[in-house]
C-alpha cells in the first residue's frame, strides 16, 4: 500500500494542526511507514488506509496535545500503537511521556517506533495496576479503550491533576462518576460530529493512593 509524502501528511493535518513545526511531518512519515509495515502482519489498528491513519490517529492525537492542561508528565493508558501518546511526545517534547501497554506485540512495535523516531519516551510493558503505588503523573490519557469503566478505574488514581479521555458521544455516556474531579469539560474533535475529548480536573488538595478504590 502506498504511503504519503510529508507534504500530503501536512495537508491532511491542517484541520488538527494548521502549522506543523519543522521536522514533524518527516517524523510522522516514518511513524506511518512503520505502522503500515507492522499492521500488515499483526493487528495494531483497524484503520488501514494511510490518509485515515493520519487524520484519525495522528491528527486527533496532535489536536489533543494542543489542548492539554499544563503538564510535565503524562501517562498514556492502554496506548496500543501509540495513540495519543507518541504524537503528543513528538509535538510536545517538554512533556515526559510514558506509554502503558501490556500486549507483547504492541510493546514490540512501540519499542521499535521509539527507536526509529529517536524520542525519549518510556514504555511500561505491564498492566498499569502493577505500577508502584506512588508512581503517578500530572495527566493520564485514554483513547479507544474496550472497557471504559474498569479502564477509568485503573487510570484515575494515577492522575495527579487531569484525566483526558478521547471518546465518542456514546462512549462519554459510559464514563462513571468521578467524585474527586470537577465536572467534565468537553471539546469537539475536528472533522467529526461524534468524536470528543473529555477532560476531568482533580479537585481539592488530597491525592489518592494508586490502586485505591
At 121, which CATH number? 3.40.50.150
Q: pLDDT value at position 2?
A: 52
Convert the pLDDT of each residue in 183-192 to its tens digit.
Answer: 999 999 999 9
**129 annotated binding-site participant:** yes
In this structure, is residue 44 part of a structural domain? yes
Q: Which residues of the chain have pLDDT under 70?
A: 1-2, 204-213
Q: Is 111 one of the annotated binding-site residues?
A: no
Torsion (CA) 83, 151, 39, 25 in degrees, nearest 10: 0
- 99: containing domain: 6-201
Q: Is 211 within a domain?
A: no
140 labelled ligand-binding = no
How far apart are alpha carbons 162 and 101 in whole angstroms? 20
So what's the pLDDT on residue 208?
Answer: 46
State residue 144's pLDDT score: 76
Partners of 76 in beta bridges: 99, 141
Residue 89 lies in a domain: yes
Q: Are 59 and 91 in contact (CB under 8 A)?
A: no
pLDDT digits (tens, 9 = 90+) for 14-24: 999 999 999 99
Does some domain include residue 208? no
- 144 located within any domain: yes
Is the residue at 207 inside a domain?
Answer: no
- Ligand-binding site membership of 63 (annotated): no
pLDDT at 13: 97
Euclidean distance between the first and final Cα of the chain, in Å? 47
213 domain residue, yes or no: no
Return d(Cα 66, Cα 205) in angstroms, integer. Answer: 26
Q: How many CB atoms lie within 10 A of CB 209?
A: 9
pLDDT at 209: 43
Quick one: cell of 127? 498492566
48 is annotated as contributing to ligand binding: no
- Report the pLDDT value the prediction gives residue 95, as an integer from 0 to 100: 98
Q: Count of domains in the chain?
A: 1
Amino acid at each position: 500500500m502506498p504511503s504519503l509524502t510529508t507534504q500530503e501528511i501536512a495537508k491532511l493535518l491542517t484541520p488538527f494542526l494548521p502549522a506543523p513545526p519543522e521536522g514533524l511531518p518527516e517524523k510522522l512519515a516514518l511513524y506511518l511507514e512503520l505502522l503500515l509495515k507492522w499492521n500488515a502482519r499483526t493487528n495494531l489498528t483497524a484503520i488501514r488506509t494511510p490518509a485515515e491513519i493520519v487524520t484519525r490517529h495522528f491528527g486527533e492525537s496532535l489536536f489533543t496535545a494542543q489542548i492539554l492542561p499544563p503538564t510535565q508528565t503524562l501517562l498514556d493508558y492502554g496506548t496500543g500503537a501509540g495513540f495519543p501518546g507518541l504524537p503528543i511526545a513528538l509535538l510536545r517534547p517538554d512533556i515526559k511521556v510514558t506509554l502503558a501497554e501490556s500486549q507483547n506485540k504492541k510493546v514490540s512495535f512501540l519499542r521499535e517506533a521509539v527507536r526509529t523516531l529517536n524520542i525519549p519516551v518510556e514504555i511500561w510493558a505491564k498492566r498499569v495496576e502493577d505500577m508502584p503505588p506512588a508512581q503517578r503523573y500530572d495527566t493520564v490519557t485514554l483513547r479507544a479503550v474496550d472497557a471504559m469503566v474498569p479502564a477509568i478505574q485503573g487510570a484515575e488514581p494515577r492522575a495527579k491533576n487531569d484525566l483526558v479521555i478521547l471518546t465518542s458521544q456514546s462512549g462519554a455516556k459510559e464514563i462513571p462518576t468521578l467524585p474527586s474531579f470537577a465536572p467534565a469539560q468537553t471539546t469537539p474533535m475536528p472533522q467529526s460530529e461524534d468524536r470528543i475529548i473529555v477532560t476531568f480536573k482533580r479537585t481539592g488538595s488530597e491525592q489518592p493512593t494508586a490502586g485505591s478504590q
